Amino acid sequence: ARQVLDGLELCGTYRRPVGGRSTVYQVQPVTSSAELASYAAKAGGIHGAVLARQALRYCMDGSESPMESILVVLFCFPVRLGGYGFPLPVLNFRMDATDLAKNATGKSGFRCDLFWPDAKLVVEYDGREHHGELARRSSDGSRHAALVGMGFEVVRITSENVRNDKEFDAIARSIAKRLNLRMRPTKRDWSAKRDQLRSDILPWPIPLS
């Protein structure tokens, strides 16, 4: 999972803390998912190449924060690894506003943290780590109403939701219904795998149940 997070960061517009430095946002990507895939394909049988190619299945361009990348892992990793097996979303898709939405919000478009086009489903993360960016993107009631008025379903996730495994599980199952995914019976040890995945990647301590 950590290799996937590294790949999403390299292809994203943020940098996680190093030493005493805080997370940095709105920077240029180091590379792209296509370039990483091309390099891995040429790596042949060198040590670590197989694991790298497996990790690249979940790497994509466009992540703008560490938590967006973490949500990709939690939602999209396969069930056997403790995830929910969702298809990969589009990250930070820019959606043009309709005339009505433009008049209501004064904005020509909206950016969506995680977006599943076929389901017209938007998932937005409201976190504490970059309030200025959240405010800039107008994540308020009028923006939410505008997206709903344009025919999209919007699910908002907070840091508290992510911290609480039961709340997060309820949200994930709600998203599965919206994606028209049948939550298949999971293996007996799925809960333990889920807890381990959360413990491995979340930026705060997660007690294992």
Apex 54 CA angle, 40 and 166, nearest 5: 145
pLDDT at 205: 63
Supply φ then ψ for residue 170, to 5 degrees: -65, -40
Name the least confident of 113-127, 132-146, 156-170.
132-146
Residue 207, pLDDT > 60, answer no
Q: pLDDT digit string (tens) for 32-65?
A: 999 998 888 887 667 666 777 888 999 999 999 9
Q: How confident is the model at residue 209 (pLDDT cuts 50, 70, 90)?
A: very low
pLDDT at 187 over 60: yes
pTM reported for the whole predicted model:
0.87
Q: Name the least confident of 59-68, 123-132, 175-184, 194-203.
A: 123-132
Please tell me whether residue 177 adopts helix, strand or coil conformation.
Answer: helix
For residue 48, the SS3 value is coil
What separation in angstroms does the CA of 178 have from each of 44, 148, 207?
40, 14, 30
Q: Residues 73, 1: contact at Cβ < 8 Å?
A: yes
What is the secondary structure of 57-106 as a DSSP string? GG--S---SHHHHHHHHHHHS-GGGTS--PPP-EEEEEEEPPHHHHHHHS
Residue 150 has pLDDT above 60, yes or no: yes
For the stretch 108-137, pLDDT in tens is 999 999 999 999 999 999 875 444 554 544
Does the pLDDT of residue 92 top 50, yes or no? yes
Show the beta-strand stretches assigned E in 19-149.
24-25, 90-96, 109-116, 121-126
Query: What mean pLDDT is predicted for residues 56-75?
Result: 95
pLDDT at 5: 95
Can you tell me which residue has the tokens 């892992």?
73
Lowest mean pLDDT among 64-68, 105-109, 173-177: 105-109
Q: Residue 126: what are its φ and ψ, rounded to 5°? A: -100, 105
Supply angle C-alpha 1, 196, 34, rounded to 5. Answer: 10
What the block records as the tokens of 87 is: 């298809």
Measured distance CA(198)–CA(208) in Å, rounded: 9
- The whole-angstrom separation of Cα 130 and Cα 64 is 11
Cα separations in angstroms, 52 against 6, 40, 45: 11, 7, 11
Write down the mean pLDDT value for the chain.
87
SS3 state at 158: strand
Q: Does residue 140 have a pLDDT over 80?
A: no
